[in-house]
Structure formats: structure tokens, C-alpha cells
């Protein structure tokens, strides 16, 4: 049984249908990447999975349970966390306060989890009392990911984690993603930096026009001439 299974998901905004029956899955321990042109529905799919966009037809199952109609807070409690591309930190709060806010639904003593996040992201520890709004783009992305990890998710959804970052920082972000996966967290990524993301992915999906186009292993998609021509720059 897949950890996450989205089956024939139809979703959109207002009267506009963006997804026309998309199906994806993530197995335990996997890194799965979704690629495709801008406007093809990648981010809409992520939001539909976590409950930020209503699933009109189809179903989303997580750990065997239908979560299609759950509110985002209920989805988070089930072990699934989402990091959006933008507006993903509280800039007026310190780094430590951001991490504390990430544990908002926990009822236990989560201080040890903050220590674990500082171990995973040492740059954040050195600036723990700094206002998050003063962080660089790469540091902000690290903080957003760390904040989501405060809830010990089983599955982490990342929407464009390398967007707008300098090349050196992109490499650092992907190294951290690998490290997170090695701790046992499964990951679903939407990523424009398709080559780097597919290189570390177990599987990948190509979306276009709100529909599934191709599904294959990460290495197979990297070596697919059509995928290379359309999405990998040759």
C-alpha cells in the first residue's frame, strides 16, 4: 500500500478546473518529484493533497485513510506537512520563535525537536535570536523546512524549495533534502530545477495541462530524450 495515493484528482479555483484527473503516489521512504511547465497544475496538486484546495472529484489517501475532505490542520495532525514556495516563514519573529510556531499542534515538550533542527541546520542555530526577515533566501528556505519538520511528519511536501536561490545554495538545499530523507521522512517535491531533483529521486511524474504525461524512475526520466528536450534544457 502506498503511503500517499492521489487518484484521478480534479481540482481548481472558482469555475476554473486546473487538474483534470491527476494520479500520483508516494511510497514509504521515497523521494518523488513532479515536474512540468509553469501553470500545469503542480502547485495546485500539492494544495489539493493538503486540503488548501478542494478536491472536486477523485480521492487523496494517506496511510490508507481518505483525507480528501479534511481541513489542513487535520491533515497536518495525520503526519503530512507542506512547505509552500513563498510566505513560508514569520519574518517578524526570531528563528527560534518560528520553530516554536511550527510545533503549534504538539501537546508534548518539543524543545528537544528544536535542538534536532539546529543540528540538522547549523546555520539556523548560529542565528537563533535573529529576526527571520533578515535571513538570506537560502536561510529562509531552510527555516521553512525546519519549521515543518517540527511536527515529525511522515511525509513532507516541498513546493519549489530551490526557487530564486543562487547555484551554491541550491546544492545545499538539495543536500539537506537528502539528509531529511535519510532520517526516514518521505518527500514529494515540485521543482523547476528538474535535473538536480530527479537525480536524487526514486520516481518522478511529468504533468502538462493538468494531466499526467509521464511516470518513471528518476534516472529514467533524466535519460528520456523527450523529457530532456522539453524540461531539462536539451
Tell me the domains of the chain and their CATH numbers.
Answer: 4-231 (3.40.50.300)
pLDDT at 169: 82
3-state SS assignment for residue 88: coil
pLDDT at 165: 82
Confidence category of residue 30, pLDDT binned at 50, 70, 90: very high
Confidence category of residue 234, pLDDT binned at 50, 70, 90: low
**Percentage of residues of the chain with pLDDT beyond 90:** 71
pLDDT at 72: 92
What lies within 8 Å, CB to CB, of 97 at 6+ separation is: 90
Cα gap 208→225, rounded to integer Å: 17
Note the pLDDT tens digit of each residue in 90-148: 999 999 999 999 888 777 888 899 999 999 888 899 888 999 999 988 889 899 999 99
Statement: the pTM of the whole predicted model exceeds 0.75: yes
**Best-predicted range by mean pLDDT (44-53, 100-109, 167-176):** 44-53
What lies within 8 Å, CB to CB, of 61 at 6+ separation is: 2, 4, 5, 6, 7, 67
pLDDT at 138: 85
Note the pLDDT tens digit of each residue in 69-90: 999 989 998 999 999 988 899 9
Cα gap 128→151, rounded to integer Å: 19
Give the mean model confidence (pLDDT) for residues 205-217. 94
Contact criterion met (CB below 8 Å) for 165 and 9: no
Is the sign of the CA dihedral 174, 176, 179, 184 positive or negative?
negative
Amino acid at each position: 500500500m502506498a503511503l500517499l495515493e492521489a487518484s484521478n484528482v480534479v481540482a481548481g479555483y472558482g469555475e476554473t478546473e486546473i487538474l483534470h484527473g491527476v494520479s500520483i503516489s508516494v511510497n514509504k521512504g521515497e523521494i518523488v518529484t513532479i515536474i512540468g511547465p509553469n501553470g500545469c497544475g503542480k502547485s495546485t496538486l500539492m494544495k489539493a493533497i493538503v486540503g488548501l484546495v478542494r478536491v472536486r472529484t477523485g480521492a487523496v489517501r494517506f496511510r490508507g485513510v481518505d483525507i480528501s475532505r479534511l481541513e489542513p490542520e487535520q491533515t497536518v495532525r495525520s503526519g503530512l506537512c507542506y512547505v509552500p514556495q513563498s510566505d513560508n516563514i514569520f519574518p517578524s519573529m526570531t528563528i527560534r520563535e518560528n520553530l516554536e510556531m511550527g510545533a503549534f499542534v504538539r501537546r508534548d515538550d518539543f524543545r528537544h525537536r528544536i535542538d534536532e533542527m539546529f543540528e540538522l541546520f547549523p546555520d539556523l542555530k548560529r542565528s537563533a535570536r535573529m529576526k527571520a526577515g533578515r535571513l538570506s533566501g537560502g536561510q529562509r528556505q531552510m527555516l521553512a523546512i525546519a519549521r515543518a519538520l517540527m511536527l515529525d511528519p511522515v511525509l513532507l511536501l516541498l513546493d519549489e524549495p530551490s526557487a530564486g536561490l543562487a547555484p551554491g545554495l541550491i546544492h545545499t538545499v538539495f543536500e539537506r533534502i537528502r539528509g531529511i530523507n535519510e532520517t526516514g521522512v518521505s518527500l514529494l517535491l515540485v521543482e523547476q530545477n528538474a535535473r538536480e531533483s530527479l537525480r536524487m529521486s526514486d520516481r518522478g511524474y511529468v504533468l502538462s495541462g493538468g494531466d499526467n504525461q509521464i511516470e518513471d524512475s528518476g534516472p529514467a526520466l533524466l535519460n528520456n530524450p523527450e523529457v530532456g528536450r522539453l524540461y531539462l534544457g536539451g
